[in-house]
A = this chain, B = another copy of it.
């Protein structure tokens, strides 16, 4: 199975309003709720690709309960077409604090989303110890681990570095998808892959050119860098070569979840030991399918299959 870690899981709430006008009152016309946080989103896509996935991290309070119920309901579903929808196994650690909410306000007049993210609950030292014990157990069964998203209050900033070192010791490859100081510290622990976007790479390295920045990130410790370039696809700088992957067309839609879909593509490719160009093609096709899906973070299987055949992957001639 694949393990995903979401230390700051969230109940994702989407509101639709006819038009967002600051400092006025809005009647919300449509409300949707689902389990969220990057690692949970990654797990959903991995399950759709046929990979059993265990999710860990923290959940607590009434929003934590709603999140876990939503997670349990996910595995029960599945339409029966395409590959078997694999299981998502809930290994979240209960905490006394309350799982945060994120609110995405979709403006019906433009389709744009305004995001409001709560800070997340305080994690106590005994809760953190519980998590670490569970993480060590779960690593024994894991084919790969994804470490995703921001850190909640009370969790040390060097946490991802620690979790990467433990995965190394257990022989489990790691993918890190975070930003800021947790990314900087995590990279130094030599994860197998990082998946920053261009802005995160620039913040990390000071270089605005993605190729230059990705090479810098490798020098800092990442064994491979798969940088997402938004609608322009991805750039991978690895020990085996450097590639650019481009979607077949400029896409419009909701970019929420596109990055998490890319992580699922990269991770499934790693576990199935497909070559880098194919991993990138998966990641870009899944991102594109997510952008085109009417519901944030979902994707249409047929759309993905069709896009997959049309992603253009080119090798970069320069030496790394």
Does A29 make an interface contact (CB < 8 A)?
yes
Q: Is the CB of A119 within 8 A of B62?
A: no
| Bound: A21/B118 CA distance, A | 16
Whether a CB of chain B sits under 8 angstroms from the CB of A207 is no
Contact residues on A (Cβ < 8 Å of other chain), bracket: 20 to 34
Residues of B with C-beta under 8 A to A62: 62, 65-66
- From 1 to 42 in chain A, residues with beta carbon under 8 angstroms from any chain B beta carbon are 15, 17, 20-29, 31
The interface residues of chain B lying within 8 Å CB-to-CB of A113 are 23
Q: A208 near B: Cβ within 8 Å?
A: no
In the complex, whether A147 has a CB less than 8 A from a CB of chain B is no
Instruction: Report Cα–Cα, A65/B28, bound state, in Å.
Output: 22
Interface flags, A97-140, vs B, CB<8A=1, else 0: 00000010101001011111111000000000000000000000
Q: Which of B20, B23, B26, B29 contacts A112 (CB 8 A)?
A: B23
> With A62-B66, A65-B62, A103-B103 in contact, do A24 and B116 touch (Cβ < 8 Å)?
no
A22 and B112 contacting across the interface, CB-CB below 8 Å: yes
The answer for the CA separation of A72 and B198 in the assembled complex, in Å, is 50
Copies of this chain present in the complex amount to: 2
Among B28, B110, B117, B119, contact of A118 (Cβ-Cβ < 8 Å): B28
- Chain B contacts for A17, CB-based, 8 A: 116
Interface centre among A28, A105, A117, A118 (most CB of B within 10 A): A28
Our pick among B21, B26, B105 for the contact of A117 (Cβ within 8 Å) is: B26
Task: Please give the distance in Å from A197's CB to the nearest CB on chain B.
Answer: 13
B residues in contact with A27, CB < 8 Å: 117, 119
CA separation between A185 and B223, bound complex, in Å?
A: 70
Contact of A22 (CB < 8 Å), options: B66, B114, B119: B114
In the assembled complex, which residues on chain B have CB atoms less than 8 Å from the CB atom of A115?
Answer: 24-26
Q: Considering the chains assembled together, what is the distance between the CA atoms of A105 and B17 in angstroms?
A: 15
State how many angstroms separate the Cβ of A153 from the closest Cβ of chain B: 12
A116 touches B23 (CB 8 A): no
What residue of chain B has the Cβ atom nearest to residue A15's Cβ? B116
A-B residue pairs in contact (CB < 8 Å), sample of 12: A22-B22, A22-B107, A23-B107, A23-B112, A27-B119, A28-B118, A28-B119, A29-B119, A31-B119, A62-B65, A62-B66, A103-B116
| Besides the known contacts A20-B114, A22-B114, A23-B113, 4 further A-B residue pairs in the complex with CB atoms under 8 A apart | A15-B118, A17-B116, A26-B115, A29-B119
* Top-5 shortest CB links A-B: A25-B115, A23-B112, A62-B62, A28-B118, A22-B114
